[in-house]
Amino acid sequence: MQEEKPGVGIVGAGLVGCLAALAFAAKGYSVSLFELRPDPSTIPQKQKNFRSINLAVSDRGIRALRYVDEEMASRVLENVIPMYGRMIHDLKGNQESQNYGLFGESINSIDRSYLNDLLLDEIKRNDYININFNYKLSNVDNLNSHPTLTFQDENSELKTYEFDYVVGADGAHSQFRYQMQKSMRMNFSQEYVDMQYLELSIPAKNDAGEFHYSPNHLHIWPRHDFMLIALANKEGSFTVTFFSPWKIIESFQNKDEWLAFFTENFPDAVKLIGEEELKEAFDKNPRGSLMQVGVYPYHHPSGRAILIGDAAHSMVPFYGQGMNCGFEDVRVLMELIESQAGDTSAAFRKYSEERHEDLKSICKLAMDNYHEMSSKVTSKWFLMRKKIDYALGKLGNGKYFQWIPMYTMISFRGDIPYSKAVAIEERQAKILGRIEIGTLALVLGVGLAKALHHIRK
């Protein structure tokens, strides 16, 4: 007699929910996936309502994709645009490139909805996953024994399903989490960052799909309190995002003031975005707010439910780790199921214990990185320090000593947990500080010697 597969209900068919569905199916679970929105394949491209900020997939995300399915990971990577560094745009329109990696590594621009569609296609082909769109979660019950999920379907009918385990992957405003909180003691915080974002676009240079700027960089116009960034799309365009405190965008009385502000601060970008388009965007384009969410623990004490992705740890986008971290959640959880010999409940419990410090670390790093992107990248002192850091990184390959720049650890070394990266960086920063003092002393010494020599003459 064949053993019955344990049933898993996953709420949310965004990026993380989809990867989790594929991962559980690959581990021999019978998976049901539920999504509030309609099937994107039934919607004309233009009307797609998915958040459209481009994503940068890097090592942690790729590792998780590979863990679940090597071939699928390869298909994803065929459709990315590698970005090898930042391109800093100053007020005069000058551009300066700063590499991300020591050895030509890249983070990779990809369209969110393209990636989501690709994962959904995999899911529809998978016999062990059934997917349900237009399902609005209304209740999560019976978490202490056999959890049930109750949904309102598109005809407003209530439907209830029973599972062995349930997973909440329904994003920052998770309804699953809200339901779960009713039957457990879950610490929870949500904090809005005083910052809005507004999406803009730079079209392709011509019908041949040529780019106005290098497609292989993440473009930044760092202006301290606010900034503009741009990531390349496949067809020659750039998705542009303006980040600023709310008070800046709310201070403009009309579209002309907004255009004047943009022209003053981003003259080269305005030419490419277009003045009319900019003015239109002021009224029409959605402005988003940025929020950090933290919870603890991630699992229900019964070991029957768990939160992953943004539902567990929504972070600001400034380290490009939101999706990568959510994908890593899936890999870490699956590896725990392996190491707990298939005891799902034990794995859920261990996940909270082992994952918490890493998630706290990356949420904090993401916030801190705003300062680096918007300001520090223009500081001579920062660039000098970075040069030493990278020089040490090239030498410190573990033969004589080990040295890994922070950006490398976070974006290209998914084998180093976030919290460990923070610990390593703290040690390295101390040493860097000493090197700087040493260098400074040396420079002063040489200067002094020269001066004395001059006096003696």
Interface with its own copies (CB under 8 A): 178, 185-192, 289, 291
Nearer to its own copies, 132 or 183 (CB): 183
- What is the nearest approach in angstroms of its own copies to the Cβ of residue 163? 25
In angstroms, the CA 277 to CA 281 distance is: 6
Nearer to its own copies, 191 or 415 (CB): 191
- What is the nearest approach in angstroms of its own copies to the Cβ of residue 15? 23
Nearer to its own copies, 172 or 232 (CB): 172
In angstroms, the CA 192 to CA 212 distance is: 34
Handedness of CA 414, 416, 419, 425 (dihedral sign): negative
- What is the nearest approach in angstroms of its own copies to the Cβ of residue 189? 4
In angstroms, the CA 88 to CA 430 distance is: 27
- What is the nearest approach in angstroms of its own copies to the Cβ of residue 156? 13
Nearer to its own copies, 188 or 401 (CB): 188
Closest CA to 174 of 312, 371, 322: 312
Residue 230 is which amino acid?
A
The residues near 317 (Cβ < 8 Å, ≥ 6 apart) are: 53, 290, 366
In angstroms, the CA 371 to CA 367 distance is: 8
Nearer to its own copies, 51 or 75 (CB): 51
- What is the nearest approach in angstroms of its own copies to the Cβ of residue 343? 22
Nearer to its own copies, 96 or 353 (CB): 353
Instruction: Give me the DSSP letters along 65-93.
Output: HHHH-HHHHHHHHHT-EEE-EEEEE-TTS
- What is the nearest approach in angstroms of its own copies to the Cβ of residue 150? 16
Residues 169-208, buried b or exposed e (16+ Cβ, 10 A)?
A: bbbbebbbbbbbbebeebeeeeeebebbbbbbbbebeeee
Nearer to its own copies, 189 or 253 (CB): 189
Nearer to its own copies, 250 or 264 (CB): 250
Instruction: Give me the DSSP letters along 260-322.
Output: HHHHHH-HHHHHHH-HHHHHHHHHHSPEEEEEEEEEE-SB-TTSSEEE-THHHH---GGGS-H
- What is the nearest approach in angstroms of its own copies to the Cβ of residue 325? 21
- What is the nearest approach in angstroms of its own copies to the Cβ of residue 194? 9
Closest CA to 144 of 301, 297, 306: 301
Nearer to its own copies, 259 or 291 (CB): 291
The alpha carbons of the chain give a radius of gyration, in whole angstroms, of 24
Tell me the H-state helices in 302-405: 310-313, 322-339, 344-374, 380-395
- What is the nearest approach in angstroms of its own copies to the Cβ of residue 33? 25
Handedness of CA 20, 26, 28, 32 (dihedral sign): positive
Nearer to its own copies, 185 or 284 (CB): 185
- What is the nearest approach in angstroms of its own copies to the Cβ of residue 392? 40
Ranges of beta strands (E only) in 65-186 are 81-83, 85-89, 95-99, 107-110, 129-132, 136-141, 148-152, 158-162, 165-168
Handedness of CA 402, 408, 412, 415 (dihedral sign): positive
